[in-house]
């Protein structure tokens, strides 16, 4: 049989070998690209941790390598200088409250734009999209005037409403696409069974929209946790400041304490990583199922 195959098609076996070699080379190329991407992503985290455990001399003499001697005192000093205990508490309170307000308002607005029929629905959605194009720095002065007029300047609640308001457009855009991916027949069946529109939204739509809500929570939660500019404008009292404002304490006029700064960064980065790992399944589902819908 093999002799007959060679006689009928003498180039068959070289072609198969060449194709197999080509597939292996493609696979090796894919693995090489993934390894480079992984190192590029993971190594900065290790570099930050390495820097947090070095002395100042070791940091400047051995920039890229691991520490020659573990200096755990850096974490103690960083915690004290940046007052991270109080600032972590403030960041948790502000982030949780901001996400609560944001998810409630944006989910209701997105559902209305996705399902309800009313005059001007398209124009409202276009206006919301247009606000996403405006840099936040442009709106700082009007926001400051509004917050001061309402009497919530220099307070946690003032910053909560600023965060929720500035993140509303993107959240509505993302959730609207996700709501439109949910089959409307499910809602029609609930309406036929006697449920009103609010009950349909609460008991039918929101449980199915958990990946989309998780996506918004991760995106905006990381933004709230790391945001500096708006917090610097609207919060001036030290006891109300968030983590990014505390990290400024490691930078002086002509120098910076990099080892303590890396130690503080290592401590405040952990909650973000834990949040993403805990919600990554919903995060990926929300991006693939809802964000590509229109």
pLDDT digits (tens, 9 = 90+) for 93-140: 999 999 999 999 999 999 999 988 888 888 999 999 898 888 878 889
The 10 Å CB-count burial string (b at 16+, else e) for 263-277 is bbbbbbeebeeebee
> Is residue 270 pLDDT above 60, yes or no?
yes
> Which has the closest alpha carbon to 213: 165, 282, 162?
282
> Is residue 291 pLDDT above 60, yes or no?
no
Q: Give the domain ranges of the chain.
A: 2-71, 78-292
Quick one: pLDDT band at residue 290, thresholds 50, 70, 90?
A: very low
Q: Which stretch of 8-22, 59-73, 242-256, 264-278 has the lowest confidence by average pLDDT?
A: 8-22
Report the C-alpha gap between 57 and 267 in whole angstroms.
22
Quick one: pLDDT band at residue 1, thresholds 50, 70, 90?
A: very low
Helix 258-289 vs helix 210-226: crossing angle, to nearest 10: 160
> Which has the closest alpha carbon to 227: 240, 244, 209?
244
pLDDT digits (tens, 9 = 90+) for 12-64: 556 656 666 677 888 888 899 999 998 888 888 889 999 999 998 888 888 88
Q: What is the dotted CATH code of the domain comprising 78-292?
A: 1.10.3720.10
Quick one: pLDDT band at residue 277, thresholds 50, 70, 90?
A: confident
Quick one: pLDDT band at residue 224, thresholds 50, 70, 90?
A: very high
> Which has the closest alpha carbon to 106: 207, 2, 220, 182?
220
Q: Which stretch of 82-91, 182-191, 221-230, 285-294 has the lowest confidence by average pLDDT?
A: 285-294
The pLDDT of residue 123 is 92
Helix 168-180 vs helix 121-131: crossing angle, to nearest 10: 130
Report the C-alpha gap between 148 and 143 in whole angstroms.
8
The pLDDT of residue 17 is 60
Mean pLDDT of 290-294: 44
């Amino acid at each position: 049989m093999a002799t007959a195959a060679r006689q009928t098609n003498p180039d068959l076996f070289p072609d198969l070998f060449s194709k197999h070699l080509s597939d292996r080379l493609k696979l090796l190329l894919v693995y090489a690209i993934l390894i480079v991407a992984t190192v590029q992503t993971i190594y900065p985290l290790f570099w930050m941790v390495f820097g947090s455990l070095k002395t100042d001399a070791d940091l400047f003499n051995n920039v890229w390598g691991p520490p020659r001697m573990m200096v755990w005192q850096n974490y103690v000093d960083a915690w004290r200088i940046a007052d991270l205990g109080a600032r972590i508490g403030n960041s948790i309170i502000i982030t949780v409250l901001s996400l609560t307000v944001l998810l409630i308002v944006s989910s209701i607005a997105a559902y209305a734009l996705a399902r309800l029929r009313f005059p001007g629905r398209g124009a409202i959605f276009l206006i919301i999209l247009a606000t996403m194009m405006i840099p936040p720095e442009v709106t700082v002065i009007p926001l400051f005037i509004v917050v001061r007029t309402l009497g919530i300047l220099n307070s946690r609640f003032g910053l909560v409403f600023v965060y929720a308001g500035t993140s509303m457009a993107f959240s509505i855009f993302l959730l609207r696409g996700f709501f439109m991916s949910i089959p409307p027949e499910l809602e029609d069946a609930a309406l036929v069974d006697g449920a009103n529109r609010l009950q349909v939204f609460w008991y039918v739509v929101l449980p199915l929209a958990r990946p989309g809500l998780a996506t918004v929570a991760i995106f905006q939660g990381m933004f709230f946790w790391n945001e500096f500019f708006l917090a610097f404008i609207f919060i001036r009292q030290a006891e109300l400041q968030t983590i990014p404002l505390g990290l400024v304490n490691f930078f002086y006029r002509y120098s910076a304490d990099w080892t303590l700064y890396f130690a503080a960064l290592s401590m405040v980065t952990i909650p973000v990583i834990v949040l993403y790992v805990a919600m990554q399944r919903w995060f990926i589902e929300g991006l693939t199922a809802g964000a590509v819908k229109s």
